[in-house]
Amino acid sequence: MILVFGSLNIDLVAQVPVIPGPGRTVLAPSYRTHFGGKGANQAVAAARIARPGRVSMAGRVGRDGFGDSAIENLRANGVDADRVIRADEPTGCAFITVDQAGENAITVASGANMTARAGDLASELFNLDTVLVLQMEVPFAHALEAARRTAAASGTVIWNLAPVPEQMTREMVTELLAVTDYLLVNEHEARDAATAIGLASADYEAASAGLAKSGNLTCIVTAGAQGALAVTVEGTRLRAPAQRITPVDTTGAGDTFVGAFAAMISEGVSLQRALEVSCEAAALKCLKAGAQTGMPMRSAMGSLA
C-alpha cells in the first residue's frame, strides 16, 4: 500500500505575462481553481499510475466546501480518502501565478494542514508492504513520527524534501535522513540539505552523493531538462533523461515525479526503471495546465505500455 501523509489544498491559478516581484502588480484576465497540496498531488499522481486500490491519503481539511471538494476529488481519482480528517482550521489554499514560459510562483496558506497528526494513522497501516510518502507541508514532528513507525515495521519511506523550511536545522535533516529510504529533492533542495548538515555542496551531484552516504539511503535529484539522477549509498549513480517538450505549466511536475516513483517502488521495479517512468510522467504533466489535471494515467505512459 502507498500511504501519503501530507497536505491538501485548493489552488487558485492566474496566468500572467510575468511573475511579479516585490512591490509589483500584474493583471490576469481570470483565474482557475484546481486541486492541490503536495500530499494530495502526489497521492493522485500515484493512483493514476499504480495498480487500482493501492493508494491511501492521510491528512486534514477544514469543515468547509473546499474540504468537501478535496475529499471528493481524491475519491474520484481512485485514492482512499477515509483517513482525511476534518479540522476546525480552513482547508489549505495555494495562490499560484504562471508566466508565459510555464514557470510558476506559489504562496501557500496552510490552514488545516498544520493540524495534521501522526496519531491519526492507525497501527495496522504500517507493515512490510507500506510505502510511506512524505513532504514538508505538514508539521515536521508528525511526519517524522510516521516515518519512524514505517521504518519500525520494515516498510519503505519516500521523503520529498519540499518545500525546504526557512529554518531547516542540522538536527532536522539528520533525523529525516535516519528514517528515509529514498530522499527526493531538486537541485536547490539537495544543496540546501547538504549545507544544513555541514557537507560541501558545490553542485547538486556532490550534494546528493553526500546525502546518500550520510543517511545510508538513495538520494534522487530531479534536475529539469537534465532529467533525474539517483545516487545510492554505495555511490552508484543512475540517470534518466528528460523528454524534450515545450511546457504549458510546470506546476505539479515534481509531485508527479514523486507519485510515479512511489507507484513504481510499490511494484518492485528496478531503480533505473522507476527513474525513467517518473521522468516520463513529469514531462507529460507539463503539457497540461493545473497541478493535478495534467497528471497522466497509466494508459498514457509509453514506458508502461
Side by side, the strands of the sheet bearing 228-231 are 80-87, 55-62, 2-5, 131-134, 156-160, 182-186, 218-222, 228-231, 237-240
Is residue 289 annotated as involved in ligand binding?
no
Residue 255 is a catalytic residue: yes
Is residue 227 annotated as involved in ligand binding?
yes
**How many helices (H) does the chain have, and how many strands (E)?**
8, 13
Rounded to whole angstroms, how far apart are CA atoms 54 and 263?
9
Is residue 252 annotated as involved in ligand binding?
no
Rounded to whole angstroms, how far apart are CA atoms 60 and 117?
9
* Residue of 80, 181, 192, 255 marked active site: 255
Rounded to whole angstroms, how far apart are CA atoms 6 and 120?
12
C-alpha cell at 19: 511573475
Is residue 37 annotated as involved in ligand binding?
yes
Least Cα distance to 71 among 131, 60, 108, 90 occurs for 60
Is residue 130 annotated as involved in ligand binding?
no
Is residue 41 annotated as involved in ligand binding?
yes
Handedness of CA 59, 222, 33, 136 (dihedral sign): positive
Is residue 91 annotated as involved in ligand binding?
no
Rounded to whole angstroms, how far apart are CA atoms 268 and 274?
9
Is residue 224 annotated as involved in ligand binding?
yes
Is residue 99 annotated as involved in ligand binding?
no
Is residue 80 annotated as involved in ligand binding?
no
Cis peptide before 163 (omega within 30 of 0): yes
Angle of CA points 107, 134, 286, to nearest 5°: 55
Is residue 135 annotated as involved in ligand binding?
no
Is residue 213 annotated as involved in ligand binding?
no
Confirm if 238 and 229 have CB atoms less than 8 A apart. Answer: yes
Question: Which residues, at least 6 apart from 82, have a Cβ–Cβ distance to it below 8 Å?
Answer: 56
Q: Give residue 55's Cα distance to chain centre.
A: 14
Is residue 82 annotated as involved in ligand binding?
no
Is residue 137 annotated as involved in ligand binding?
yes
Is residue 160 annotated as involved in ligand binding?
no
Strands 9-15 and 156-160, bridge-based pairing: unpaired
- Per the annotation, binding residues for substrate are 9-11, 37-41, 137, 255
- Per the annotation, binding residues for ATP are 186, 222-227, 254-255
- Per the annotation, binding residues are 9-11, 37-41, 137, 186, 222-227, 249, 251, 254-255, 285, 288, 290
- Per the annotation, binding residues for K(+) are 249, 251, 285, 288, 290
Q: Which residues are catalytic?
A: 255
